[in-house]
Structure 1
Amino acid sequence: MNPQTLRFSTSDTAIPFEKRLRLFPSSRFHVFPVFLCSDVAKSPHFIRSKHGVAAIRNCKDLVSSVSRRIDPISQREVGAPRVGKTVDIATLGNLCVDIVLSVPSLPPTSADEKRAYMEQLSASRPDKKYWEAGGNCNLAIAAARVGLRCLTLGLVGDEIYGRFLVEVLGEEGIGMVKMNEDAETSASNGISYETLRCWVLVDPLQRHGFCSIHDFSKEPAFGWLTMLSGQVKKAIGQSKILFCNGYAYDELSPDLILAALEYARHVETAVFFDPGPRGKKLFCGSPQQQRALKMYLKMSDVLLLTADEAESLTGATNPIRAGQELIRESSHTRWVIIKMGSRGSLLVTKSSVSYAPAFKVDVVDTVGCGDSFTAAVAFGFLQNIPPMNTLVLANAVGGATAMGCGAGRNVASLEKVIELLKASDLNLENFLGEKLVEDDLETDLVILSKSIPNGVGDKIKCVSVEKVVCDLMPRLQIKQKGAMAPL
């Protein structure tokens, strides 16, 4: 391939590199390592992004292409504790194209009626203006925008939807590794597959309904995939975090998902797990699903759940107690994070509990807020940022996403996040504070506050939001000014 050509996908579309540089000033570029999903082991591919340009021949090149860098804040070598790990976060599965449509009413609840409704929706291809990158693309895009280097591991078809996802991710500086890339399984066995699509339906009251043709299948969409390819193992080995959520079970077999966890633990890659709405179903699912869920809850470094999800898995109505129960049952979990929407969020460790109220925002759309929140948690985890500071950043990134319409490329921008942090307008109307504390609570509670109130009690300690924002701002402003990302 001509090295002067910038290639977006597996299609024949190629755009001269010089032309792209004229469109995007050089001051916006720096080297950024990526994989592209086609033939990464055979030929280099170039990818243009807001974060950089790189040519990667294979997984080994990913390691050698990254120069030694120093964190401008801590003045330590970036990634020093994990030799050879040049990717910050890799997502497992759950790559799809969202079709976002306004509808007069949400889909019917009856299975038969819903299937008929779904068949009617999918009868013709919707206009491309309604397409958006969905699933784990939301997390990857939000993570890239706060300076993390990201990979997505999954399957997309060699058709218009698949090429759309590759292009969108490429524009954000995010690489992709196909999970069957070096196995040639589909070609040799005559297996064909299409990019997953999900219809995101919004009614006049801004309520959401989600429909996919795979909702009606009892088997994973890509259940024929039985082993991790060499490329996927290399990608996991070179990543500092592997993220998996409950939606991965819709497309991958429990055994394959469990194999990814076991390999991540083998190569000392941290694991983030968010069971999501699928958690309750998996808890009562097949023996294989139950086993995989149990192992992820036990072996993950970071668990992320809503308060309802935490209660359904532990039976504890107090979110602090639910978080502590999950840590007690785990052999590896360092953080349990409870997401509570407009009431804020909790971060539970073995020795502490932190609570940060949400920021006041004008909510337009909540799709993608949880994914954006997780991206900021990954940033804090990798940078050894204190738990409270991590929660505040995550609340800001999630809140900034809620102010936009839809997810994908519409998730929070760094500028909007900084704006929210500077305003520091906490939503104290839904403040939980002392409501979380019980007489026999095992640890103190640290809460975020606009000021240090009097008489909050022996078990509650306060941290000023101004101090937390002051600590966070230098890292974010370095990224905003276009300097090399902290990670």
Structure 2
Amino acid sequence: MVMFAVAPEGLTSPRPNTPRTPTPTPLTTLGNLCVDIVLNVPKLPPPDVHDRKAYMDRLSASPPDKQYWEAGGNCNMAIAAARLGLHCIAIGHVGNEVYGQFLVDVLHDEGIGMVGMCENTNVESASASYETLLCWVLVDSLQRHGFCSRADFSKDPAFSWMSKLSEQVKTAIKQSKILFCNGYGFDELPPGVIVSAVEYAVEVGTALFFDPGPRGKSLSAGTPEERGALSQLLRMSDVLLLTSDEAESLTGIENPISAGQELLKQGVHTKWVIVKMGPRGSILITRSSISCAPAFKVNVIDTVGCGDSFVAAIAYGFIHNMPAVNTLAIANAVGGATAMGCGAGRNVATLEKVIELMKASNLNEDDEFLDELLDENLDVQAIKSLSKLVINGSENQPNCVSLQKVVSELLPKLKLTQLQKKVPC
């Protein structure tokens, strides 16, 4: 099955006798396409797996109104990236039912192309294993979240019948500057298929981004195939993105900077390790430098989709060869703007909200926390930190980069994208 929500540049057939060089697609996501069903519930699902399965079956028995549906998974990242002006392709599988059509329509409306995973399969399109993956996003009265999907109740990936990459998928990867994978992709795709995509991306020179997410811990204790695929992703990725807890889980090192440096040592192609720290901001670690950026102060409504939005802006900075501190600043702004809304999918940060947040320039600076992180003997040549103040650092202390300077460099780019989006095609 091959579908295009928007015909991607370079993947459509040119007119006869008019050969042209395909235009590279900045960003392609692999797998993790799902429809979120967002419901308010009196209490979250029970912890027992059998009780949770029964709970989900009761929910599924009466499909909720379409007003509760939302694009989820890697759609969050692709939508946020598209709103920043990046040309995005989503590689994945959706079924032929109403949920699949909904997802394709949302991607189309956001200007995102889609390529189906497989050309041929023996699985009947009416089979449950062929259906679009649903994720029930349950929110209780205290705004706590619970998640469940059919992938939670099977040892095999939801689309375990997939065995190889189609030629269309390979073409999409080859024509992309970045291939993004995350740990939730293992809920849908067999490890062998993910490894094939990784190896092909490396072969054709497409940069690989990987965010293991909470699945990193379970994958590291999973099947030999899962452990091997996780190891391959950690070693071969150009950019790794983790929370501080996830970095500690994978390395056994508590300090997020030291953990990032260890992941760099283990990597073959790794250029950046980025540690996300929520309201405390983010850190970008290279082999020779550390860059830190506090988060922007926002009125947090919902944190779902913030991490995905953050990654989209990191990709934006990577593609445009922006300085590390500038990249972190825009990523924190995009993640913060998403937190100001309710839910993910089409509710992720708009360009207008990002610009508004950057203009306000209200940082949540915590010098004491930063000093604690940098207190260890860190073997780096340069340490930089985004700040409202500009101070030249001493040994193992950061040189402060002016927030005003960074904002003055970012805003013209964002405003130009905003103008381009308003001009009718």
Q: Paired residues, what number? A: 421
Pick from 384, 394, 401 the counterpart of residue 446 of structure 1.
Answer: 384
Mapping of 1:247-262 within 5 angstroms?
247-262=184-199
Q: Using the alignment, how far apart are the partners of 2:9 and 2:180 within structure 1?
A: 23
**C-alpha displacement of 1:103:** 0.9
CA RMSD between the two structures:
2.5
* 1:175 equivalent in alignment to 2:113: yes
Give how far 1:249 is off: 0.5
Q: Distance in 1 between matches of 2:251 and 2:233?
A: 15
1:185-200 alignment runs, 5 A limit: 185-186=122-123, 193-200=130-137
2:136–2:148 CA contact under 8 A, matched in 1: yes
- Checking the alignment, whether the CA contact within 8 Å between 1:343 and 1:357 is kept in structure 2 is yes
Partner Cα separation in structure 2 for residue 207 and residue 431 of structure 1: 29
CA contact (8 A) 2:125 2:131 kept: no
Q: More deviation in 411-420 or 443-452?
A: 443-452
1:326 counterpart = 2:263:
yes
The corresponding residue for 2:43 is 105
- 2:29 is matched with which residue? 91
Query: Which residue, out of 124, 142, 152, partners 1:215?
Result: 152
CA distance in 2, matches of 1:93, 1:354: 30
One of 152, 169, 172 as aligned partner of 1:235: 172
Cα drift, residue 105 of structure 1: 1.2
For residues 213 and 118 of structure 1, what CA distance do their matches in structure 2 show? 8
Please report the TM-score for the alignment, with normalisation by the length of structure 2: 0.94
**Aligned equivalent of 2:92, options 142, 154, 157:** 154
Q: Find the residue that maps to 1:428 and give its secondary structure.
A: coil
The residue type equivalent to 1:197 in the other structure is L
Deviations 1:220-259 (A, max 9, x none): 1111110101111111111111000000101111011000
Percent of pairs identical after alignment?
59
Residue segments in structure 1 that go unaligned for 5+ positions in a row: 1-35, 48-53, 68-82
Which stretch of structure 1 is more off in the superposition, 188-197 or 134-143? 188-197
Looking at structure 1, the residues matched to 157 and 191 of structure 2 have their Cα atoms a distance apart, in angstroms, of 9
Q: CA deviation at 1:191?
A: 8.8
Matched, 1:116 2:54: yes
CA apart distance, 1:112: 1.6
Q: 1:374 to 1:65 in 2, by over 3 A?
A: farther
Contact between 1:98 and 1:131, CA under 8 Å: does it hold in 2?
A: yes
The Cα of 1:392 is off from its aligned counterpart by 0.1
Counting only pairs closer than 5 Å after superposition, residues 359-370 of structure 1 correspond to structure 2 as 359-370=296-307
- Decide which of 279, 292, 310 is 1:342's aligned counterpart: 279
Decide whether the 8 Å contact of 2:209 with 2:237 is kept in 1: yes
| 2:310 aligned with 1:397 | no
Distance in 2 of aligned mates of 1:188 and 1:406: 30
Partner deviation per Cα, 1:452-478 (whole Å, 9 max, x = no partner): 258776532111111111111111110
Instruction: Indicate the SS of the match to 2:332.
Output: helix
Runs of 4+ displaced beyond 3 Å: 54-62, 64-67, 184-192, 453-458
Which sits farther off after the overlay, 354-363 or 83-92?
A: 83-92
1:428 aligned partner, one-letter code:
E
In the TM superposition, what whole-angstrom CA distance separates every residue of 1:10-66 from its partner, at most 9, and x where no partner exists?
Answer: xxxxxxxxxxxxxxxxxxxxxxxxxx943x6xxxx8x5xxxxxx687945549x999
Cα distance per residue 1:350-393 (max 9 Å; x no partner): 10000100000000000000000000000000000011000000
Give the match for residue 203 of structure 1.
140
Within 5 A, what are the aligned runs for 1:284-295?
A: 284-295=221-232
* Shift in CA distance, 432/177, structure 1 to aligned 2, threshold 3 Å: same
- The answer to whether 1:279 aligns with 2:216 is yes
Residue 14 of structure 1 corresponds to none
